[in-house]
Amino acid sequence: MKTVVRGLAPSLLIALVGIALLRISLGSDVFLQYVKEGLRYPLIASGLVLLGVGIAGLVNRLTARRREPVMRFGRDAEGNAVWQRPAAAEDHAHEHEHEHDHGPRVAWLLTVPAVLLLCFTPPALGSFTASRDGADATMEKTNYADLAPQAPAVSVPTPMSLTEFIGRSHDPQKSLENRKVRLTGFVAPGPGPDEWYLNRLVVSCCAADARRLRVLVHAPGPAPAADTWVDLTGVWHPVPDAPANTAPRLDVTEQHTVPQPRAPYRDLPPSDS
């Protein structure tokens, strides 16, 4: 029995990993916690392939087991009645045991993430990653279109992604000056009292290559808890002679807690929907 279970285990593990991939990508948005949205279909295809390989391995192993010669009644050298397996089958069984005993045991480490994906939904990366030094996204110089005129007393702010806000903060034309904007991101601790960071993480492929976008927020009162998603309205506060890699500052006039967006690694402007 032990040999049978050992022979089925590798195929079961492959099928388990396939099921885990399908669980997070087929009919669910959990995969967006790990990779960008465009990888949904490759994940589904990978899950189907792994599940198929695992099932094929199980069928092949069970079929081979059924074809093995049955035990036969006989007598040993001393004349005692015993059940015996044919010599060829015995050699075959020993070969299989030897193969499985020396297999790549490190592959069993795949069981842990597969089971976790099936049973739990780990959160997306947050303030811990955003607080690391050297994790900033590379900002390329962009010629942004002119913004529509906005009267000083206007109550409707301009929604912006953090990418655009950070880019415009370096605009020689000062297109953000005296303009009320609206940003969305998650909270990370700041450098001093009444200051904290509004962050987004963007990825090229998966969470392993996440890069940070952040804005220094100046707001009265205590900062929201780390990793809380907030919707902020405020005005850009220029800091003369600040280094190019300094996070731009936002003086907040209004803030609201919001749910984590469906795709946390896409830096999109806030929406009322």
pTM for the model stands at 0.74
Residues 6+ apart with CB under 8 A from 37: 263, 266
CATH number of 127-257: 2.40.50.140
Q: How far are the Cα atoms of 20, 42, 57, 170, 222 from residue 45, in angstroms, in the given order? A: 12, 5, 18, 43, 47
pLDDT tens digits, residue range 197-255? 999 999 988 888 889 999 999 988 888 999 999 999 999 998 887 777 789 999 999 99
CA 28 to CA 20: how far, in whole Å?
12
pLDDT tens digits, residue range 32-74? 988 888 899 999 999 999 999 989 988 888 887 666 665 666 6
Lowest mean pLDDT segment, chosen from 43-57, 128-142, 253-267: 128-142
Residue 86: pLDDT band (50, 70, 90) is low
Total number of residues shown for the chain: 273
CA 41 to CA 59: how far, in whole Å?
27
Q: How far are the Cα atoms of 8, 99, 212, 256 from residue 64, in angstroms, in the given order? A: 11, 16, 53, 63
Query: What's the alpha-carbon Rg for the chain, to the nearest Å?
Result: 30
207 and 35 Cβ atoms separated by less than 8 Å: yes
Contacts 24+ apart (CB under 8 A), 134-141: 135/210, 135/211, 135/212, 136/211, 136/212, 136/213, 136/214, 136/245, 137/163, 137/202, 137/211, 137/212, 137/213, 138/211, 139/163, 139/166, 139/167, 139/170, 141/167, 141/170
Residue 162 pLDDT > 60, yes or no?
A: yes
Residues 6+ apart with CB under 8 A from 240: none
Residue 1: pLDDT band (50, 70, 90) is very low
CA 47 to CA 19: how far, in whole Å?
6
Mean pLDDT of 188-196: 87
199 and 127 Cβ atoms separated by less than 8 Å: yes
Residue 138 pLDDT > 60, yes or no?
A: yes
Domain boundary assignment for the chain: 2-119, 127-257
pLDDT, position 3: 53
Closest CA to 184 of 134, 224, 129, 135: 224
SS3 labels along 136-160: ECCCCCCCCCCCCCCCCCCCCCEEC
pLDDT, position 218: 93
